[in-house]
């Protein structure tokens, strides 16, 4: 089963390569951090702060590409943790109703999720949550 989470914190440090985001259970108290790259962290941070770029940046382009191809992004799911690495999928409904799952790093998936208003739902599999909280 997947548990609905929300992005509650973004910590960007110019000193290191790795940045941190925190997800928290929407109907509960469990929370955990994910290390992500500076590019994805900046992309998430800007959007959460409501900054809309003059030109489509890379995650805007990803969103536009999916929409232009007739897809509607449903949600993102962090569905696995293996050797300290999180894995995610982006779930997209095609115009014929078929649901396709796109493998993604959690950072890109969450960046895409916050490019929608309201943000797309972010889920984490119970098994992953059990391991990290």
The radius of gyration of the chain from alpha carbons, rounded to an integer in Å, stands at 14
- Residue choice 3, 5, 34, 62 for contact with its own copies (CB under 8 A): 62
Options 4-12, 27-35, 88-96, 117-125: segment touching its own copies (CB under 8 A): 88-96
Give the number of residues written for the chain: 133
Tokens of 53: 């770029």
Residue 125 C-beta: closest distance to its own copies, Å: 18
Q: Please give the C-alpha separations between residue 14 and each of 8, 11, 17, 39, 42, in angstroms, as whole numbers.
A: 20, 10, 8, 11, 11
Tokens of 35: 């290390």
Options 12-20, 28-36, 62-70, 122-130: segment touching its own copies (CB under 8 A): 62-70
Tokens of 116: 């929608």
Q: How far apart are the first and last CA of the chain?
A: 16
Residue 18 found at the interface with its own copies (CB under 8 A): no
- For tokens 């995650």, the residue is 59
Residue 55 found at the interface with its own copies (CB under 8 A): yes
Residue 52 found at the interface with its own copies (CB under 8 A): no
Residue 104 found at the interface with its own copies (CB under 8 A): yes
**Which residues here bind its own copies, judged by CB under 8 A?**
39-40, 55-59, 61-62, 64-66, 68-71, 85, 90, 92, 94, 100, 102-105, 108
């Amino acid at each position: 089963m997947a548990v609905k989470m929300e992005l509650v914190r973004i910590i960007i440090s110019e000193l290191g390569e790795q940045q941190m985001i925190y997800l928290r259970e929407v109907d509960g108290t469990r929370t955990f951090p994910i290390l992500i790259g500076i590019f994805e962290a900046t992309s998430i941070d800007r959007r959460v702060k409501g900054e809309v770029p003059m030109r489509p940046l890379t995650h805007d382009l990803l969103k536009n590409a999916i929409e232009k191809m007739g897809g509607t992004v449903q949600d993102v799911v962090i569905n696995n943790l293996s050797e300290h690495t999180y894995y995610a999928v982006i779930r997209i409904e095609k115009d014929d109703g078929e649901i396709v799952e796109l493998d993604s790093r959690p950072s890109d998936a969450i960046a895409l999720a916050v490019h929608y208003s309201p943000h797309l739902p972010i889920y984490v599999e119970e098994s992953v949550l059990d391991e990290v909280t």
